[in-house]
C-alpha cells in the first residue's frame, strides 16, 4: 500500500509540467563538435534535431535564416519577452521563417550590440504539419549582434505545453492541484504510520485490521 501511494505521488509530480531545458538553442560553425554542418553559421535546437537553419551574413547587421530540412515541421517567430509561446500563439501568428515555404527564408536586422528574441516551434515527431499541438516543442532564444557576429545570449526550451518568452516558466504552470494532492498523500502515509505505532502492529497487522 505504501509503495503504491509513493509511486502515485511520484507520477503526479512528474505529470505537473514539461521539462525546460536551458541553453538548448545554438549558433554553430563547421568546426563546432559534434555539429559539423557545412555552412559558415547554423542555428540549431539540440532537443529538436531536425530544426536546422542556415544563417547567412549580409554585412554586419543583416542575417538571413534559411531552413535546411523538412523531416518535421518547425517555425521561427519574432517575439517579445513575457509572451506565452504555445500552440495558440503558433497557430494564430505569422512566422518569421518556416520549413515548408519556398525559399523558406527570413531576414533579421540587428544593429551592433542590439538583441532580439526569437521564438521557435517544432512539432517533435511524425509527418510534417503546419498546426501546433500541446505535445510539441516550444522555446525562445535571445539573439545578439556582437561586433557583427550573431550569437545566442540565452535560450530555453519546453518539451510540451509552451513557455513564457525570456523565462524558464513553462505553460501551463505546474498543476497546483496535483501538488496539493501529493502533499495530502504524504500526510496520509505519516498518519497511517502513527496509527500502526499506536496499535503496536506491523504493516501486516494494520492491513488485517483495515
pLDDT at residue 97, as a whole number: 95
CA–CA dist 137, 125 (Å, integer): 10
Q: Mind giving me the DSSP string for 12-63?
A: HHHTT---EEES-EEEE-TTSTT---SSSSEEEETTEEEEEEEEEEETTTEE
Question: 34 preceded by cis ω (within 30°)?
Answer: yes
Phi and psi of 153, rounded to 5°?
-75, -30
pLDDT of res. 126: 78
82, 107, 173, 192 from 37: Cα distances, Å: 32, 21, 36, 59
Please give the model's pTM, rounded to 2 decimal places: 0.75
- Cα 145 to Cα 39, 76, 100, 132, 153: the distances in Å are 19, 18, 27, 30, 10
Res 210: pLDDT: 37
Tell me the pLDDT of the chain (210 aa) as tens digits: 444 334 333 333 334 445 899 999 999 999 998 888 999 999 999 999 999 999 999 999 999 999 998 888 999 999 999 999 999 999 999 999 999 887 789 999 999 999 999 999 999 887 888 899 999 999 999 999 999 999 999 999 999 999 999 999 999 865 543 444 445 555 555 555 554 545 565 444 333 333
Amino acid at each position: 500500500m505504501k509503495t503504491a501511494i509513493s509511486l502515485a505521488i511520484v507520477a503526479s509530480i512528474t505529470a505537473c509540467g514539461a521539462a525546460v531545458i536551458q541553453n538548448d538553442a545554438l549558433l554553430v560553425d563547421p568546426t563546432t563538435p559534434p555539429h559539423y554542418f557545412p555552412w559558415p553559421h547554423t542555428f540549431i535546437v539540440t532537443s529538436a534535431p531536425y530544426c536546422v537553419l542556415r544563417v547567412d551574413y549580409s554585412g554586419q547587421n543583416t542575417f538571413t535564416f534559411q531552413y535546411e530540412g523538412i523531416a518535421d515541421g518547425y517555425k521561427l517567430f519574432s517575439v517579445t519577452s513575457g509572451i506565452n509561446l504555445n500552440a495558440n500563439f503558433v497557430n494564430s501568428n505569422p512566422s518569421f521563417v518556416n520549413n515548408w515555404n519556398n525559399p523558406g527564408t527570413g531576414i533579421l536586422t540587428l544593429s551592433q550590440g542590439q538583441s532580439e528574441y526569437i521564438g521557435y516551434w517544432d512539432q517533435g515527431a511524425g509527418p510534417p504539419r503546419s498546426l501546433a499541438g500541446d505535445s510539441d516543442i516550444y522555446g525562445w532564444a535571445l539573439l545578439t549582434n556582437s561586433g557583427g557576429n550573431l550569437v545566442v545570449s540565452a535560450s530555453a526550451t519546453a518539451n510540451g505545453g509552451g513557455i513564457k518568452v525570456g523565462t524558464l516558466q513553462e505553460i501551463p504552470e505546474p498543476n497546483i492541484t496535483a501538488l496539493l494532492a501529493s502533499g495530502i498523500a504524504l500526510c496520509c502515509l505519516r498518519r497511517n504510520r502513527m496509527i500502526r505505532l499506536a496499535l503496536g502492529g506491523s504493516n501486516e497487522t494494520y492491513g488485517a485490521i483495515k
